[in-house]
Amino acid sequence: MLKSELMKLSRDERCWLPWFGKTGKLAMRWATLINRRRYPILEQTFEGIANTRVQVLIGWANQQWALLEGMLGEVCRHLPAPSAAQMQSMMARSTDFSELLFIDTGGRVLASSYADKFGRSGLPPEAVAQGLKQRFLHGPYVDPQTQVIGPSSSKFHDAVTLMFYLPVKLDGQVVGCLCARVPNDVLGDLIQREAGHIFVESGDNYLFMVKSVFDPKTRPGMALSRSRFEDSAFSLGDNLKQGVPTDFGAVRISQHTELELMFNDPATGRLHPGVRETIAHGENLFVTYPGYPDYRHIPVIGKGITFQMPGSPDTWGMMCEADLEEANRFRSVNFRMMRTNLTLAFMTWLITFGSSQLLQLDILQTALLNVLLLGMGALLFYRIGLKPMTERLRLMARVIRGLAEGGGNLAQRLERNQSPIDEPAVMSQWVNSFIDTLDGTVSRVIHATDEMNDNHRSMMDRNQEATVATHQVLAAIQEILVSLQRQIADIDTATQTTGDIRAAMQQAVDSAQQQFNLVQQRTQGIRGSIEQSSQTIRRLSGSTEEIGKIVMVINAIADQTNLLALNAAIEAARAGEAGRGFSVVADEVRKLAERTTAATHEIRQMINTVQSQAREAVQIMEKGSISMEEGLRLAEAAASDNTGMKEIIERMFTLIQGIAEGAHRYGQGVQGVATVTQSMRGALDELNFSMAQARQTSQRLQGLAGQFKVTQIQGRPGV
């Protein structure tokens, strides 16, 4: 069962062809009747064309994403923004990018491969917001800046744009987007592949919108790629810019097919059946009579398929179509040879019969005439039938032989002349398609080989620099290791010395403690003696006070005696001579009383002096006792401080020990680094050797690929 039978066409759509004309019912019914056995081949052909081109588109998009992801590391190394020269260097890795940008989270351009764009923000904010969340393919959409910047890998160019957005993260935070601008005509080149068209005159592959998620204004059925009939580049007949005339008006575009043309049937103003059924069912295939009307109202057959581009939320569709008339223009070699043979046989019979009747030829003459006509017919059959076909086969054989022998001119194609469409012509078309595929493949191989050689050269230079740097690092590490070993020896000596210091310190602390205890004991004895002396002096001071009291009594007695002596003298004077002797005694008593008074005064002064000195002695002893107490307290505090100092010294010893252990571990680590660096040097030497071998291999590959002459060296995938 043919898949074409599953397409739902209305009664009017099955009977829409006119009766007469090149594409009328009579002509197309006869053509499809002759080629009805080719329906499975046509279905297989369109299936292959559509599926292959979808794979090409998806593979191309993945390649662009891979290129951008490969650039992320370099962009992050040059944050907050790479320079314009760095952006241009990165953009050179892709032939399809026309501009490489780095924008911040506000959409402001921080770096661009295109001059004079710093600080500008011309990208759609909605697209920027989506691109900051995840990788995002925006488009196709119209951006005048794309037309200003200029084309990339396609010779066609307009303002229709594809923009790749890839978030740039630093420490888990999005800091901007790496964006790549691609002119949308690059997609048209990928799916058209002009040199590989099987249906030379009418084959057309175009993209259309199925479901627009990001921009609802893009309606289902709207064109997303350049049509082959957009201008006169590939079509010698009517084109869309000049206007394609139909019975229902001209189909025309102003600037570009994309986002202008709706793939409607001009007769109904609605989506033509191929696009309609593809949107409805996800795919569609139809290759039988009567075809269906396309957007030019011409009967076509073909395959429709839907898919999603990596990074795009939208669903796209692609139609691979050809005119019903060209697809059924095929006439088999059997048919053509049989027709030629029958025509020549009929003409031979007719001439023989006519000549025999008109000239009354006998049997021998008739036989000779038949032989002559058969020879002429054979010669004519060879000239008009066999020779052209064998020449075409010989040309194909020569081209294929050149390719099979390991070289050849891949820029050449088998001529598409006015020869009939038969098996050799179809084979020529497939050979051209094969050569075009091989041309694209070899072109990419040459491009990849050149890039690989450049990368190898750069890697070898960097590896050489890394090798030199590794040698320098290894030498520096060796010096560090020697210096560290000396430091470790010094630290070990210091550790041993600190042990001796700790022992001596402990001995000094113990001796000081013993001496302090001895001083403390003796000080306690001195303090007791001072206390006893102080008490004795205080008692002596009390005794002098008692003596002072007695002296005062004696002084009072002397004063009284002096007063009595004075009275006795007075009385003796009254007694006259009789009292003379008594007067002498009274005078002596008075003198004795005066001397006694004077003596008591001296004794009192001496007692006062003694008391004063005793009090001073007590005060001095009390002050000395206080000073001694303060000294003992300070001595005790000093002893306590010695204990703290001992703890500090112990911590210092522990720290020195830790430093020594850390130095030993650091030495082991440095030794490990030296070992790893030595291994790295060996690995770099091996890597340099491997790189040299890889470079030789790539040069051999380049030599093999160089045997082919290609149309151009390209970096994009083809079919």
pLDDT bin (cut points 50, 70, 90) of residue 93 is confident
Same domain, 390 and 464: no
Any domain includes 82: yes
The span from the CA of 713 to the CA of 447, in Å, is 6
Any domain includes 412: no
Same domain, 342 and 323: no
Average pLDDT, stretch 77-93? 88
Quote the tokens at residue 34. 């002759």
Q: Token match 């197309």: residue?
A: 28
Same domain, 471 and 494: yes
* CATH number, domain with residue 141: 3.30.450.20
pLDDT value at residue 670: 59
Any domain includes 414: no
Q: What is the pLDDT of residues 421-451, one digit of tens each?
A: 767 777 777 777 777 777 667 766 776 666 6
pLDDT bin (cut points 50, 70, 90) of residue 78 is confident
Closest listed residue to residue 621, CA positions, set 518, 529, 525? 529
CA 558 to chain centre: 126
SS3 state at 208: strand
Any domain includes 715: no
Average pLDDT, stretch 395-418? 68
319 neighbors 227 (Cβ within 8 angstroms): no
Any domain includes 493: yes
Closest listed residue to residue 199, CA positions, set 355, 433, 538, 412? 433
- In angstroms, what CA-CA distances link 519 with 66, 513, 631, 646? 89, 10, 11, 21
Cβ neighbours, 10 Å, residue 88: 16
- Which stretch of DSSP H or E encloses residue 210? strand 204-211
pLDDT at 137 over 90: yes
Query: What residue type is 467 in one-letter code?
Result: T
500 compared with 184, residue with greater pLDDT:
184
419 compared with 14, residue with greater pLDDT:
14
- Which stretch of DSSP H or E encloses residue 451? helix 423-575
pLDDT at 646 over 70: no
Same domain, 213 and 87: yes
Same domain, 138 and 275: yes
Q: What is the pLDDT of residues 274-319, one digit of tens each?
A: 999 999 999 999 999 999 999 999 999 999 999 999 999 999 999 9
Any domain includes 248: yes
Q: Token match 């694209």: residue?
A: 440
Any domain includes 417: no
Average pLDDT, stretch 511-525? 67
pLDDT at 716 over 50: no
**Partners of residue 704 on adjacent β-strands:** none
Residue 261 has φ and ψ, to the nearest 5°, of: -90, 130
Quote the tokens at residue 352. 């023989």
pLDDT at 552 over 90: no
Quote the tokens at residue 241. 């810019």
Same domain, 430 and 389: no
Looking at mean pLDDT, say which of 263-267, 440-444, 541-545, 613-617 comes out highest: 263-267
Average pLDDT, stretch 457-481? 70
Same domain, 347 and 212: no
Q: Which of 271, 293, 327 is the last residue of a domain?
A: 327
DSSP string, 282-351: SEEEE-STT-EE-TTS-EEEEEEEEE--TT--SEEEEEEEEEHHHHT----HHHHHHHHHHHHHHHHHHH
pLDDT value at residue 609: 75
DSSP string, 508-533: HHHHHHHHHHHHHHHHHHHHHHHHHH
109 neighbors 102 (Cβ within 8 angstroms): yes
The span from the CA of 508 to the CA of 645, in Å, is 12
Residues with Cβ within 8 Å of 597's Cβ and at least 6 positions away in sequence, in order, are 555, 558, 559, 562
707 compared with 363, residue with greater pLDDT:
363
Q: Which of 303, 327, 351 is the last residue of a domain?
A: 327
Same domain, 359 and 438: no
496 neighbors 643 (Cβ within 8 angstroms): no
Average pLDDT, stretch 480-499? 71
Residues with Cβ within 8 Å of 320's Cβ and at least 6 positions away in sequence, in order, are 46, 49, 50, 53, 203, 204, 205, 302, 303, 304
Residues with Cβ within 8 Å of 321's Cβ and at least 6 positions away in sequence, in order, are 202, 203, 204, 205, 274, 294, 300, 301, 302, 303
Quote the tokens at residue 289. 């009579």
pLDDT value at residue 629: 66
The span from the CA of 226 to the CA of 239, in Å, is 12
Q: What is the pLDDT of residues 615-630, one digit of tens each?
A: 776 676 667 667 666 7
Same domain, 493 and 363: no
Residues with Cβ within 8 Å of 396's Cβ and at least 6 positions away in sequence, in order, are 414, 424, 427, 428, 431
691 compared with 238, residue with greater pLDDT:
238
Q: Token match 């890795």: residue?
A: 93
- Please tell me the least confidently modeled range out of 109-118, 139-148, 592-601: 592-601
Same domain, 283 and 228: yes
Quote the tokens at residue 47. 């299936």
Same domain, 367 and 237: no
pLDDT value at residue 715: 45
**Number of domains, the chain:** 3
Q: Which residues of 455-470 are buried (b: 16+ CB within 10 A; e: fewer)?
A: ebeebbeebeebbeeb
542 compared with 228, residue with greater pLDDT:
228
Terminal alpha carbon distance of the chain? 29
Q: Which of 372, 405, 438 is the last residue of a domain?
A: 405
- Residue-number span of the structural domain to which 297 is assigned: 3-327
- Please tell me the least confidently modeled range out of 99-113, 590-604, 685-699: 685-699
pLDDT value at residue 348: 84
pLDDT value at residue 2: 92
In the predicted model, what is the mean pLDDT of the chain? 79
Any domain includes 187: yes
* CATH number, domain with residue 682: 1.10.287.950
Same domain, 503 and 397: no
Average pLDDT, stretch 9-21? 92
CB neighbour class for 245 (10 Å; exposed up to 12, middle 13-18, buried from 19):
middle
**Is the omega angle on the peptide bond into residue 420 within 30 degrees of 0, that is, cis?**
no
pLDDT value at residue 224: 96
Quote the tokens at residue 640. 């306590």
CB neighbour class for 671 (10 Å; exposed up to 12, middle 13-18, buried from 19):
middle
Query: Among positive and negative, which fits the CA dihedral 284, 289, 294, 300?
Result: positive
